[in-house]
Amino acid sequence: PIRDSKQGSFQIVDIVEHMRPVTKFTVQVPDGNVLASIVRKATRISTTEKPGPVHIELPEDIAAGTAPDTVYVPNPIRRPIAEGKAIKAAVELLKQAKRPLLMIGAGANRQRSIRAIKQFVDGTGMYFFTTQMGKGVIDERHPKYLGCAALSSKDYIHAAVDIADVIVNVGHDTVEKPPFFMHAESAETRKVIHLNFYPALVDNVYFPQVEVVGDIGNAIWQLNETIKAENVKFETPMFEFIKRLIDDALVDGTNDDSFPMNIARVVDDVRAVLPEDGIASLDNGFYKIWFARLFKAYGPNTVLLDNALATMGAGLPNAIAVNMLYPNRKVVSISGDGGFMMNDAELATAVQYNCNLVQIVLNDNRFGMIDWKQNNLGFPAYGLDLKNPDFVKHAESFGATGHLVTSTKDFASKLKLALDAGGVHVIEVPISYEWAKEKVKGFAKETSAIMEKAMEKYGPVPNVSSLPEENISIKRVADELELKDHKGEAKKMKPEPVAEEPLQIANSRQHKTDCGEGEAKVQMTITKGDFVPMYVGSKPVKSKERLDVLNKYTQETFCQVSLGDSGVIDNAIQLAEKAAPRMAQLKSWEKKKILMNVVKEATDRFEEFAQMLCVEAGKPIADARGEVKRMIITFELAAEEATRLYGEFQPLDISEKSSGYSGIVRRFPVGTISMISPFNFPLNLVAHKVAPAIAAGCPFVLKPASKTPLGALILGDILSKDPLLPEGAFSILPCTRDAADLLTTDERFKLLTFTGSPSVGWKMKSRAGKKKVVLELGGNAACVVDELVPNLEAVVSQVIHGAFYQSGQSCISVQRLFVNDSIYDVFRSALVEQVSALKAGDPSDPEVFIGPVISEKDAQRMADWIEEAVSEGGKVLCGGKRDGVMVEATIIENVPHMCKAFSEEVFGPVLCIEKYNGSDFRSIIDLVNDSDFGLQAGVFTNNFNKAFYAFENIEVGGVVINDVPSIRVDSQPYGGVKSAGLGREGIRYAIEDMTEMRVMLMKNAGKLEIP
């Protein structure tokens, strides 16, 4: 209370002032009459400009009173746009420039601004770099990304900054420290354009010559359009060269196996394990510099970097908030031991709220950042040692799971395990900063060497020679923190000598991707117009016959691939048979090394694989990248299983007659395998056949889908270069269906594994003879929404993804949706609204969710099935139309069950929805079972008994509780019943099919005296 109360007068904490540093607005409500206006003001402040928190304190006695029944309805506002003369001045400056750079700061991290900046970079070809808080505004795998200004001066990025003649500074926020790219001596040779929502705060390191003030998105769009109209071009080869040198330099330390770990290796492992949309929340410490420099952010707000030592301890609370906002994304908090212990009690909060996050504690038993600065300034070490607890037991005391890293190679696997397991995990990582400290001392000299090499190759830059050879850390601490040595002067030290490595430049093949506009620096082995070889007996072979591969969006021929005939297939089988003994004799470590080489090469060629999927399958680029990641995981799983082909010992003395007998059971490769893969997952479904075959020691002949063979052929390129894989061990052969008949009927094959349509698969089984057969044949997956678990928004989002991702072309795409009648109306309304807003079009556009289906013939079939459903009484709630290979995301209500859209596999973006009597759960399970197929089903329920009833009674290969049936974890046993298939995939289970048990019986083994 604040009126007539002694309690109010001696309140110890002024809550409003307490909240002021961490909010955009904070106020105490003094009277109920002003409550509505305060709420309106707070709401506007929190949502306008850059969104942020606000705080309203409502005292007890004010809360007990009354307030007018007033509501101030918010009105949309538009930010002011930049003035035309300012845009013109900026363009004139850029027209005079030869080597401009774009710097992206924290203020640019807004949705409209992000799109406009990406278009600006792609349109102008301008190279860019970021501040620490600007990371991820543009995907840092972009070919024009130079790096992050992790240090304010003399870092590698300044090799580019110091030769730039104009810097366009977008969204530099006053809360972040700027890179030092302005000083009095450079004012005539390097101009700066300030582009932000507010004017520049001018000081001795920032005094821009042109200021463009207004909405960033609009201003950058105006600049882009004007530059484009006036055909302004810039000189970029020097920046391209510098980028390659920087990228090479940043590799140093990332492969270091020494222990305790060095920070470069930690960063590299975190980036490798964390998914593309995963979020890294950084505390403040010496390690933060290395995350800013080395950790590539793939999207906005995926690397959360604070900006001052005053925020030590922020990593874990930030991670908790992030997990609450994005419960389906992987979250990692990274802290030093000192920073973590400042807020370790927040582990209890994380556990209480059932968070899923991993806290990495970098333990050097010191305040490392302060120690670094203290040492550089010549002060004696004082008061920085820490006596840390056992972090594993410390975590467990809060109810979290603790892990201790005991070797460098142990870290990545422990992190992956913790992320996949869910819950709250703490990983203690013993770390040494000695390498990093020495490395920082040499930054200035290395940066000068990069500049000198660039100018040696491309000619000198006026007024630029090289950077001063001072120690970067000393200069930074002295100049920026204004700390002095004992004599009152900034202390300087001689830099450590740096050995120069010979320059090596990768041979990057520049091309215009057929999946989108603009130049992409991706090393592509297949480009538009190429004639691609097949692989016969491990070797590339070109044939006379050719197969056209279409760009599925444009329907134009992208390239041609070699087409095998029956003679080629017969030769491939002979070579595989010849290689079979050598494949069977491969040691476990050799098989693991072969598989891990695929992991390494696929990771290096990640974007090449993704672009090929985008072209040949029409897969939206986000889905394509997701599939490449899954393929890599599948080969990793196989590499692990290659060393786990265990047998067993059997005591066989089970009767008097068998007394003295024992047995050893082992699994042996079945022999040569025939493989046929489908078009919808051209990489991962190939991986699910190829990877376990290598792990089992079986040679194979693979026929990839004729419509999507390119990804498999790139995989063939990788395998063909592996020296451990016996010659003849594999063939990858695009071929006609007639020629491929040998893959079914030839008795030299010991196993046929096929993924495709039921009509084809069951016929193949009937003609396969004595060989084993594994079939994965699809279905019309059902999903039951009995309860909104955890809430309406989450379930709608999951259903949309399950039904429409990659245009519904998945065996376990949600096709039949049954919703409890008590929640049906609200669920249907939300679902239709969001599906109607899905963006369709060019799959290379990252915002596109609905791309083309595989062929116009299939698109017409889908349209016919939709028309049949409507003519029989179904109601189209959204979509329903076709344009060429594009089929709209379609929802049809109350489709009669005999219609093809309900009873058969649509394999497209079509969802049938109906409600059911929520009081009769048994009946809806019976309806789910009323299908010829049985691959997977999903059930949303919090009722334990209903979940188990569904699991025990739905006739499918897999039941997914509280998610859609469209979930496949690559290690699970995966396959169907009824018409949906035969046998199981999933690496361990596939290996079982690809091997046979053999028992060795032994009489009186180990007996020295035989009775």
Which residues are marked as active site? 776, 811
| In contact, 415 and 427? CB cutoff 8 Å | yes
Can you read off the two tokens belonging to residue 403?
């892990």
Quick one: how many helices (H) and strands (E) in the chain?
35, 41
359: Cα separation from own chain's centroid: 19
Q: How far apart are CA 539 and CA 546, in angstroms?
A: 18
What DSSP assignment string belongs to 393-406? Answer: HHHHHTT-EEEE--
Spell out a b/e string for 710-748, using b for 16 or more CB atoms within 10 Å of the CB, else e.
bbbbbbbbbbbebeebbebbbbbbbbeeebbebbbebeb
Its sign, for the CA torsion 378, 380, 383, 387, is positive
Q: What are residue 193's phi and psi, to 5 degrees? A: -105, 120
> 865 in helix, strand or coil?
helix
Spell out a b/e string for 215-249, using b for 16 or more CB atoms within 10 Å of the CB, else e.
bbbbbbbbbbebbeeeebebebebbbbbbbbbeeb
Report the amino acid identity of residue 121.
V
Q: How far apart are CA 427 and CA 392, in angstroms?
A: 8
Q: Are strands 279-282 and 210-213 parallel, antiparallel or unpaired?
A: unpaired
Q: How far apart are CA 941 and CA 928, in angstroms?
A: 15
* Residue 513 CB neighbour total at 10 angstroms: 19
> 785 in helix, strand or coil?
strand
Residue given tokens 């006036």 in the structure block? 230
Cis peptide before 790 (omega within 30 of 0): yes
Q: How far apart are CA 102 and CA 225, in angstroms?
A: 16
* Residue 276 CB neighbour total at 10 angstroms: 17
Q: How far apart are CA 636 and CA 417, in angstroms?
A: 13
Q: Are strands 331-336 and 303-305 parallel, antiparallel or unpaired?
A: unpaired
For Cα atoms 478, 482, 487, give the angle at the middle one, nearest 5 degrees: 75
Contact partners, residue 824, CB within 8 Å, separation at least 6:
915
Q: How far apart are CA 190 and CA 212, in angstroms?
A: 17
Q: How far apart are CA 421 and CA 419, in angstroms?
A: 6
Long-range contacts: 277-280, Cβ < 8 Å, 24+?
Answer: 277/302, 277/329, 277/330, 278/302, 278/329, 278/330, 278/331, 278/332, 278/419, 279/303, 279/304, 279/319, 279/322, 279/326, 279/329, 279/330, 279/331, 279/332, 280/304, 280/332, 280/333, 280/334
Bridge partners (DSSP) of residue 819 are 785, 915
Of the candidates 577, 737, 794, the residue with the CA atom closest to the CA atom of residue 670: 577
| In contact, 205 and 190? CB cutoff 8 Å | no
225: Cα separation from own chain's centroid: 32
